Structure formats: structure tokens, C-alpha cells
Amino acid sequence: MLVTFSCPAYADITMFGEVAVKLLKMMGHSGEVPSAFLAEEVPAVLERLEAALKTDIQVNPSEASNENEDEDQKVPLSHRALPLIELLKASAKEECNVMWDSR
């Protein structure tokens, strides 16, 4: 499953369902797809996501390190979240809702 996040202030962001649900849960959402955040919720949601990602890096420091790169290394969750963070920032600035749906 793919999940696409959208808001009028930013280009659509598509990511793998497992990653999207994990990020949604970090934002305090149930992880249900489809759903949405109202514009007034977005600043708090963004703050929760950024705090959760910082905690995740501290708990899993090997994911943030590039010292032992090999073919099987995963992209850190904090890197996968960057496009979504930018979408949330744009949404907060423009005060618009953020929606997501599966594709």
C-alpha cells in the first residue's frame, strides 16, 4: 500500500504505507487511512512528529549513522519523514488542512 499526503500549500507526498502509518502514530493519530488533520491541528502535529523523531534517533542511533553503509542498510525514518515535515510546515504557514489516502 502507498499513502499520499496532500494539502493545497505543497506538492503531494507519497510513501510506503508502513512508514506513513508509523509517522502518523508518532504524530498522535490512530494511523487510519484515509483521514486528515484540520489546519488548526497541524502546528501541534508537526511539533509532536519532530519530537518523536528526535527520540527515535536517540533510541536507535545506528539508524542515524552512516559509518557502516552496506547494501542492506535502511533509510532512517528521520530522513523518510523530511518531505512530510516540509508539507506540514507549508500547511501550518498557509493554515490549510492535511489529508491522506491510500493508492
Q: Which residue has the higher pLDDT, 17 or 67?
A: 17
CB 14 within 8 A of CB 103: yes
Is residue 17, in this structure, part of any structural domain at all? yes
Number of structural domains (the chain) is 1
Query: What is the arrangement of strands in the sheet containing 35-37, beginning at the earlier edge strand?
Result: 10-16, 2-7, 98-102, 35-37
Q: Is the pLDDT of residue 72 over 80?
A: no
Q: How much of the chain exceeds pLDDT 70, in percent?
A: 87
Q: What is the mean pLDDT of the chain?
A: 91
Give the domain range for residue 49. Answer: 2-62+73-102
Please tell me the predicted confidence (pLDDT) of residue 82: 97
* Average pLDDT of the segment spanning 68-86: 83
Is residue 83, in this structure, part of any structural domain at all? yes
Give, in order, the Cα–Cα distances in Å from 61 to each of 45, 80, 101. Answer: 24, 16, 31
Q: Is the pLDDT of residue 61 over 90?
A: no
Angle between helices 42-59 and 17-26 (to 10 degrees): 110
Q: Residue 91: pLDDT band by 50, 70, 90 thresholds?
A: very high
69/8 Cα distance (integer angstroms): 37
Is residue 50, in this structure, part of any structural domain at all? yes
* Average pLDDT of the segment spanning 87-96: 98
Is residue 82, in this structure, part of any structural domain at all? yes
Q: Residue 59: pLDDT band by 50, 70, 90 thresholds?
A: confident
Phi, psi for residue 12 in degrees, rounded to 5: -60, 145
Sign of the dihedral through C-alpha 52, 56, 57, 59: positive
Is residue 68, in this structure, part of any structural domain at all? no
* Average pLDDT of the segment spanning 64-92: 82
